[in-house]
Structure 1
Amino acid sequence: MRKQFVKTENYSRFTAGIAAVEQRGAAEAGMMLVHGAPGLGKSHIVGHWAAETGAVFLRANVDWTPKYFLVELAKAIKVDPSGTAQQLFGRLLERVVEAQLPIVIDEAEFTLHNKAVALEKIRDLSDRAEVTVVLIGMDRIQQQIGKYKQIHGRIAQVVEFQPASLVDVAHACEQLSEVRMAPALMAEVHRISGGRMREALNVIAAVERLARLNGLKTVDVADLEGAPLAFDWQSRTPKMVRIGVAGPNRTACAAGGR
């Protein structure tokens, strides 16, 4: 499978949110929340943006404390992590202000333990440095942060990731697959993945593997009918290709692209 970044509708929503944060009126309200169900591509999309812009990407841990966050940030931006929390905060603030470094915190639920003291420290740094901070979390994180008014009031934009559309999945198939997929098979990739882009990528890889085993350069639904392309761990059953499930309208949409 090709190594390439696919710009989906979630990517468009995210970049629109970033643009709005960067154009905010209140300098201290520089935080953005990205949330949604697992597998929708939150970390992948925000990580790609961070790599392009030079933002610092950190993944929170279950045992994060304010000092733990400061040390992890210091390691990431090559600042001396020694000394007291107050001394370290001062060095980090100076460096972040000087470089105007945006900061991303993935798995931000872990910053909410112990009355959100770790997130309070992140908010303090965001306030004083006036840089963009992106928090990435699961479905309920917006309600959880809502309990802390001082933090919630600093969030300038909220972007909820949605399941990938058929157009998104078809676009991914076209860009990433090293075998050509018929529109009906792209629709099956969408159905089997349920719009979860992480699973869609695994299904595309499975299609490629089966195509190679059968010596196929172009693959249609009939070539893979009954083939298991993924596994449903809840029902403990394979997810198999079916002919005629997608329907003509969905197939036409896949063929039409964006």
Structure 2
Amino acid sequence: MLPQNREFEFTQADFEKVRTMIYNYAGIALSDSKHDMVYGRLAKRLRALNLKTFQQYLNVLQRGDPKEFELFTNSLTTNLTSFFREAHHFDILADYLKANSSQSEFNIWCSAASTGEEPYSLAITACEAFDTLRPRVRIIATDLDTHVLEKGQTGIYLADEVTKLGPRRVARFFDLQADGRYQLKQEVRNLITFRRLNLVEPNWSVRGPFDAIFCRNVMIYFDKETQLKILQRFAPLLKPEGLLYVGHSENLYHAAEYFKLQGKTVYELTKRGQR
């Protein structure tokens, strides 16, 4: 039974079509419990396009309008992030950088950059590890959602998002703007290249080898088959001593041929994975 107070009719058949589209395009597996979430997010697109039914909207998508499909995908992706989320990962990375300080350059891939807090946390970690705003570190920050990448590229955040880092870090790595927001210093922003990337596409615009791949709180949106395919593609992009960082609720037991647990939600390559 559909809720009576809904502005648009959204049938189970409509939901199934949405679910198939986003799975085929981005590998995102929507559970039945996401029915209301999908309605709420896509209803905004119907209003923006002045459409009357979800069937009309699905017809727009099926006609292959690339801009609308991009907005459709952006609407259904989740971007929960913050600076230094799961802080122990950044401590492990700092130890790795210091232990290999003689290395000429470090390459890091943040594969779910969202609005930029995670890649900038990586950049700050590198700056602190080497006590310079110009460490020998190159960070590739990718995401499927073009809107969040645009915010990440600006490096501008609200005071509430930044001040939790503490006054010392804020003073060292940010500039206060006239409107009360904070922007990462240019030297920090120069460490990061933002780029759109769909993890289920056959060709990735990144090249290893990487010292670290951060893919945190991403696998939970994929089914096991899709997860394994992505993890198999990660393996040859990591250096033999490199580390893969995943989210606190994720594990790679189904990819045990390629990755073994090295620490809390941190994985290293197995001998099979290094081949």
Q: Give yes or no for TM over 0.5.
A: no
In terms of fraction of residues, the more helix-rich structure is 1
Larger radius of gyration: 1
Q: Which one has more relative contact order, counting CA pairs under 8 Å at least 6 apart? A: 1
TM-score of the two chains, using structure 1 as the length reference: 0.30
